[in-house]
């Protein structure tokens, strides 16, 4: 399956990029970077660095948005994702990121429109720009996957809001209103997609992939943060990897269809809202929310994919 990935690497974004590169059924067509976990500058360098590690600089890295549509100053998260977004790893100072223009994104979409799906695991500003700039092209995109929101569980940035939806709720609303079909993987599932330190160590001992050292280094860094906020989990949820897993394994997950909206301002900014009552109106839009999944299958899949080497 051909995937155009929007991301803000970021630890779990990096693991998602690695997963997409190593997965035999995924063809990564490009990465559109954006601000979020780190600045767009660091996110772009990190994406380019990850591709270079596996000799895959042929995949375009497209530099996207630097701030939300509202213009409200944004916050980065070095305490969670490391000073430059790859946990303890800093790309060499003389590393030159290979960056493509925003127009390249439209070329990728146009040239692959029949098979392409879009997956956005960061703040959704760049994707909203795409819907604004080329509506007739974006109308043809069959499926969009968003990591974001929190249904029936607390948020992670505020008591009600998840980071990606909170980061640019205007952009998220644009996508929910404009995209033909949207699949959402919110915190209620991704918080449970936990990679333990033992799994990361197991991958390290068994793989010869170019990411052998990086996987335990970034996972353990992320886990140190999660030790404080989710004591006892001994690992870290890999929200963004789960979104790619979900794309290929919807038949093994529990998904519901509801109209979803996002609060744009005030104390509930970024809150994802859907009518989850037993009796509800027939949805008007094609919005699908992941509600449950088979944890063991996810872990088996994550491990299997990460034990492949980049040339397979």
Q: Which residues bind Ca ion (CB under 5 A)?
A: 8, 10, 13, 121-122, 240
13 lies in the site for ligand RIB, by CB under 6 A = yes
Which two three-digit tokens encode residue 223?
Answer: 């886990």
User: Count of CB atoms within 10 A of residue 191's CB?
Assistant: 19
Q: Which is nearer to ligand RIB, 61 or 146 (CB)?
A: 146
Residue spans of alpha helices (H) in the chain: 11-22, 40-53, 78-81, 102-111, 125-133, 135-138, 163-167, 169-178, 187-190, 197-206, 214-229, 239-248, 295-306
Q: What are phi and psi of 49, to 5 degrees?
A: -65, -45
Nearer to Ca ion, 240 or 301 (CB): 240
CA 164 distance to own-chain centroid: 9
**Interface mask toward ligand RIB for 27-56; x: CB under 6 A:** ---------xx-------------------
Shortest spacing between CB 230 and ligand RIB, in angstroms: 13
What is the three-class DSSP state of 254?
strand
| Binding partner of 163, given Ca ion, ligand RIB, none, CB within 5-8 angstroms per partner class | ligand RIB
Burial class (CB in 10 A: 0-12, 13-18, 19+), 158: middle
Write out the two tokens for 261: 């909206």
Please tell me whether residue 164 binds ligand RIB under the rule CB under 6 A.
Answer: yes
Are 164 and 122 contacting, i.e. CB atoms less than 8 angstroms apart? yes
How far is residue 130's CA from residue 252's CA, in Å, rounded to a whole number?
Answer: 31
Q: Quick check: bond before 10 cis, omega within 30?
A: yes
- Quick one: which segment of 48-56, 92-100, 106-114, 156-164 binds ligand RIB (CB under 6 A)? 156-164
Residue closest to ligand RIB (Cβ): 163
Among 42, 120, 168, 240, binds ligand RIB (CB under 6 A): 240
Instruction: Name the minimum Å distance from CB 110 to ligand RIB.
Output: 27
Cα radius of gyration (the chain): 18
Is 210 an interacting residue with respect to ligand RIB (CB under 6 A)? no
Shortest distance in whole angstroms from residue 32 CB to Ca ion: 12
Span from 54-62, 100-108, 162-170, 288-296 in contact with ligand RIB (CB under 6 A): 162-170
Q: From 65-73, 159-167, 259-267, 278-286, give the range in contact with ligand RIB by CB under 6 A.
A: 159-167
Residue 100 or 164: the one with the smaller Cβ distance to ligand RIB is: 164
Among Ca ion, ligand RIB, none, what does residue 120 contact (CB within 5–8 Å per kind)? none
CA-to-CA distance for 123 and 240, rounded, in angstroms?
A: 12
Cβ–Cβ under 8 Å, residues 241 and 302: yes
What is the closest distance, in whole angstroms, from the C-beta atom of residue 186 to ligand RIB in the complex?
9
Report in angstroms how near the CB of residue 114 gets to ligand RIB at its nearest: 28
| Region of 6-14, 23-31, 42-50, 278-286 interacting with ligand RIB (CB under 6 A) | 6-14
**Candidate list 42, 120, 162, 301; residue touching ligand RIB; CB under 6 A:** 162
What is the rounded distance in angstroms from the CA atom of residue 311 to the CA atom of residue 176? 37
Q: By the criterion CB under 6 A, which residues form the site for ligand RIB?
A: 8, 10, 12-13, 36-37, 121-122, 147, 156, 162-164, 239-240
């Amino acid at each position: 399956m051909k995937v155009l990935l929007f991301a803000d690497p970021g630890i779990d974004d990096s693991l998602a990029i690695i997963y997409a590169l190593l997965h035999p059924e995924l063809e990564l067509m490009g990465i559109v970077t954006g601000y979020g976990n780190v600045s767009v500058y660091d996110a772009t360098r990190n994406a380019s660095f990850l591709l270079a590690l596996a000799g895959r600089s042929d995949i375009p890295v497209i530099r996207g948005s630097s701030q939300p549509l509202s213009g409200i100053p944004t916050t980065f998260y070095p305490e969670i994702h490391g000073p430059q977004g790859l946990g303890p790893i800093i790309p060499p100072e003389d590393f030159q990121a290979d960056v493509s223009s925003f127009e390249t994104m439209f070329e990728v979409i146009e040239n692959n429109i029949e098979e392409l799906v879009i997956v956005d695991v960061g703040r959704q500003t760049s994707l909203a720009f795409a819907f604004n700039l080329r509506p007739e092209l974006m109308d043809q995109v069959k499926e969009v996957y968003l990591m974001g929101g929190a249904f029936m569980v607390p948020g992670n940035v505020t008591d009600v809001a998840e980071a990606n939806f909170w980061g640019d709720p205007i952009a998220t609303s644009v996508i929910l209103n404009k995209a033909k079909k949207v699949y959402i993987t919110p915190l209620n599932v991704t918080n449970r997609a936990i990679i333990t330190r033992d799994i990361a160590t197991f991958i390290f001992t068994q793989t010869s992939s170019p990411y052998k050292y990086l996987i335990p280094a970034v996972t353990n860094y992320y886990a140190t943060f999660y030790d404080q906020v989710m004591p006892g989990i001994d690992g870290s949820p890999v929200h963004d990897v789960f979104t790619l897993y979900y794309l290929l394994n919807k038949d093994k997950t529990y998904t519901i269809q509801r109209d979803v909206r996002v609060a744009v301002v005030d104390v509930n900014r970024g809150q994802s809202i859907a009518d989850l009552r037993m009796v509800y109106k027939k949805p008007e839009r094609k919005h699908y929310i992941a509600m449950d999944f088979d944890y063991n299958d996810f872990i088996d899949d994550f491990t299997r994919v990460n034990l492949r080497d980049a040339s397979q």
